[in-house]
Amino acid sequence: MKPFSYERAASPAEAVEAAVARPGARFIAGGTNLLDLMKLGIEAPQHLIDVNRLWLDTIEPTAEGGLRIGALVRNADLAADRRVRRDYAVLARALVSGASGQLRNKATTAGNLMQRTRCPYFYNTDMPCNKRRPGSGCAAIGGLTHNLAVLGVSDACIATHPSDMCVALRALDASVETVGVGGRTRSIPIADFHRLPGDRPDIETALEPGELITAVTLPAPLGGVQLYRKVRERASYAFANVTVALVAREGQMVRLAFGGLAAKPWRVEVAEGGADPDLAADLALAGATPTEDNAYKLPLARRTLKATLAQATEVRS
């Protein structure tokens, strides 16, 4: 871990200002992903801006009937919030299927959005990786790809996005609120927040330099039965092979997103609205480019969707 200087920001504006002023600066909140990557030399910020004391840790109702979740709300607190449990169950369920109790106590909403891939070749600094060193190549392609992406991949990168929370946010049409240089605020639809790798897999989000996430906004509740099914190779504390976030009403798939399949939460809007999970899977998984190692993810995603929809129907009845 390279040496870095450290400061505690007192306001979002101050944090943004510091980030712009200091080359190689990074925000740190929970630190559960960033510090791990720093120890391995994957991230090497020269300056850390501790944003934990910015008072962005409340969950407030919005005028539109939704919720505004502060960037620093911890994953455990978000899952435990009464309104989230009642109105956004898919989000609560996604949150608690990720990581461990200890990590969820520390990890923040914004940090979860910024989580980087667990691709084992990204994690090994002896291997070329276009995310770590743009243009160096991708060691994962042609390697062991059991848990790498089958959709939205490029010749430069086949990493998967590791977050569960983001899959639920994508299904719920959340938006990400930020403050940037000069105090400029904007709201980024979650669909546009994470990027597919293309030829620049190192650019993972729509954030601009110095831009700070201040909140995540959820639209008014969708109702329906909300489920999050995570398939993994041990019962807990493991990254997903495939996940399904589903909001169903009267047997219809109102919202549907997949995790574990791509570099971002995978949602194909035209696959939604029907009651036939096979048709939905055909539409959602079209264009997949699996390897021999990860081809299992396609039938697994289809079967998991069917099972989740069946479960939603049982819950209703």
Give me the residues that bind another protein (CB under 8 A), please: 1-6, 28, 30-32, 35-36, 39-41, 48, 50, 52, 76, 79-80, 82, 85-86, 89, 92-93, 96-97, 99-103, 105-106, 118, 120-121, 123-127, 139, 142-144, 146, 230-239, 241-242, 296, 299-300, 303-304, 306-307, 310
Indicate the residue among 35 and 207 with the shorter CB distance to another protein: 35
Residue 316 Cβ vs another protein, minimum distance, rounded to whole Å:
14
Indicate the residue among 97 and 217 with the shorter CB distance to another protein: 97
Residue 29 Cβ vs another protein, minimum distance, rounded to whole Å:
9
Indicate the residue among 231 and 268 with the shorter CB distance to another protein: 231
Residue 251 Cβ vs another protein, minimum distance, rounded to whole Å:
16
Indicate the residue among 188 and 257 with the shorter CB distance to another protein: 257
Residue 297 Cβ vs another protein, minimum distance, rounded to whole Å:
8
Q: Is 30 exposed, middle or buried (0-12, 13-18, 19+ CB in 10 A)?
A: buried
**Amino acid at the residue 35:** L
In angstroms and rounded to an integer, the radius of gyration of the C-alpha atoms of the chain is 19
Q: Is the distance from CB of 293 to CB of 145 less than 8 angstroms?
A: yes
Residue 236 Cβ vs another protein, minimum distance, rounded to whole Å:
4
Measured between alpha carbons, how far is residue 29 from residues 60, 107, 214, 215, 259 in Å?
Answer: 20, 8, 12, 13, 24
- DSSP per residue, 221-252: ---SEEEEEEE-SSSSS---SEEEEEEEETTE
Indicate the residue among 99 and 216 with the shorter CB distance to another protein: 99
Residue 165 Cβ vs another protein, minimum distance, rounded to whole Å:
13
Indicate the residue among 63 and 235 with the shorter CB distance to another protein: 235
CA distance 7 to 26: 11
Q: Is 265 exposed, middle or buried (0-12, 13-18, 19+ CB in 10 A)?
A: buried
